[in-house]
Amino acid sequence: MADLAFLWHMHQPDYRHPDSGEFLLPWVFLHATKDYTDMVAHLERHPGIRCTVNFVPVLLDQIEDYAAQFASRNWRDPLLRIAATADGENLSADDRAWLLDIAFRCHAPTMLEPFAPYRRLRDLLAFVRDSDGHGMSYLSCTFYSDLATWYLLAWSGESLRRGGQSIPLLMAKGGNFTTAERQALLAELGAAVTDLIPRYRKLADSGQIELSCTPANHPLAPLLLDFHSAREALPDCALPAAPEYPGGRSRVTEHLSAARDSHTRRFGNVPAGLWPAEGALSTAFLQQIADAGFAWTATGQGVLRHSAGEAALTTTPWLPPEGTTSDILLFFRNERLSDLIGFEYAKWHGRDAAQHFMTELKAIHLQDEDNLIPVFLDGENAWEYYPYNAWYFFSDLYEALARNSAIRTVTLSEAAAHHRARSPRLPRLTAGSWVYGTLSTWVGHADKNRAWELLCDAKQCADRALDSGRLDAAACSEVRRRLAVCESSDWFWWLGDDNSPESVASFDQLFRQNLQSLYRLLGLPTPASLEHPISKGGGTPVSGGTMRRAN
């Protein structure tokens, strides 16, 4: 019997303004109501399906922040504040501009075009914008209220649309939503977000799923440890001018420790496994993961090819190279199957996609009935490209798997137990990630390298201040917390030439705001360089950001 090991990775960076705590971008909340709710609902409806779900602590922090907002009604997300406003005439000009900028940011073919009332709002906005300079003044408070409502409805998951109370009623009504109706919608969405972590914990407690973690703020750990690790897979990779990230080893240790504490506090046990941020591993980082007590970790198939050759297979876990003081197991992602789900099947009919995936699984099973099939991808970013948020794809796939006696779904800890005896040993571990098997998405481009140099400068200042004794314990704790946010891999991902100028500008600005906040916490003047965009082509910062597709 072949073992199919799904790992669904859930991550969003910290979108909160470092000083005010205001959410500058709403993606955590929107993914929570659309994707995290649907993914847990699929598992609840198919109790025979086993898998691993990975949560990054910084995402869980923000989910709990949203739960606190619903409990207190003290809104720190403009979208929720706008939707909750009883009298639209009281909306500020800034809130109106923010909403107009963000409220059509979605995959239009699946999330906007199917809904005539939502299309009408878009078309009305386009009409008044094309009119004379006074056209925008004709947009009423009802327009803004309906627009905020429809954006929330467009980002609601299929499980909420099918099982909710307010959501199906409002979608049927279409417009002219009353204050009471919007409050009912917020209550329903708030309950869904508040219940997310308990629902996943319940599945883990029942043994259906395994919950794993990632270092706390999703740092690109191999680069924190050694910039030169980028040259293991790409010998000509340009590196930052700074020779290294100061004290990188201790910072990685802190992210690992915080992740274990977060997981234990929220889910009641110590995690067995760790998915590194972006699946990025190096020999030095692997040793730290092992030293932290994790039993397994995982990365992409490209890393396996660079480490063990083109013929190396993902159909078993691997033991670490000689010299690693642990027999931690490494899983390597099956790129073809993972990318079929992440990028291809959205174009197919759900049942056809599920049947094709099952055919691919059977082919691997026929090669060796003891094969392991590791399928790892984001659990949030691909589904908006599917009709009905992939509801029919998952229904057909999970039902087909439950009926198939030759394919068994397993957690990664179960896979480790089943396959350890036949695990080969890696000859070496070439540093890389699940993106191309390299680290080039986060270093090498002039803008990415410049961001690392700014972070290195700030870290040196932080080290001196923390060692000086002039900061009290509370201030030191806050400095380390802000530093952890600045170390997120996401800032480096978005810089460069591969993303839209609007997205680059948004993340560029938020990264610099976090660095500026760090300097203020240190009681130091803010470098003038942080007043200017890192990216030369980043354009004007905007409120919204385009989300990346699943890797």
On average, the pLDDT of the chain sits at 95
Burial annotation 35-63 (CB, 10 A radius, 16+ → b, else e)? bbbbbbbbbeebeebbbbbbbbbbbbbbb
Q: What is the 3-state secondary structure (H, E, C) of 335-371?
A: HHHHHHHHHHHHHCCHHHHHHHHHHHHHHHHHHCCCC
| H or E element, residue 312 | none
Contact (CB, 8 A) for 416 and 330: no
pLDDT of residue 537: 61
CA distance 287 to 328: 9
pLDDT per residue over 8-58, tens digit each?
Answer: 999 999 999 999 999 999 999 999 999 999 999 999 999 999 999 999 999
pLDDT per residue over 256-312, tens digit each?
Answer: 999 999 999 999 999 999 999 999 999 999 999 999 999 999 999 999 999 999 999
Kindly indicate the confidence band of residue 95, based on its pLDDT and cuts at 50, 70 and 90.
very high
Contact (CB, 8 A) for 328 and 294: yes
- Phi and psi at residue 52, to the nearest 5°: -115, 135
Contact (CB, 8 A) for 148 and 79: yes
Q: At CA 89, angle to CA 84 and CA 93, rounded to 5? A: 90
Residue among 129, 5, 18, 1 nearest 511 (CA): 18
What is the C-alpha end-to-end distance of the chain, expressed in Å? Answer: 28
pTM of the model: 0.96
pLDDT of residue 538: 46
Kindly indicate the confidence band of residue 542, based on its pLDDT and cuts at 50, 70 and 90.
very low
pLDDT of residue 146: 97
pLDDT per residue over 210-245, tens digit each?
Answer: 999 999 999 999 999 999 999 999 999 999 999 999
Exposed / middle / buried, residue 199 (Cβ in 10 Å: 0-12, 13-18, 19+): middle
pLDDT per residue over 181-220, tens digit each?
Answer: 999 999 999 999 999 999 999 999 999 999 999 999 999 9
Contact (CB, 8 A) for 80 and 186: yes
CA distance 512 to 17: 11
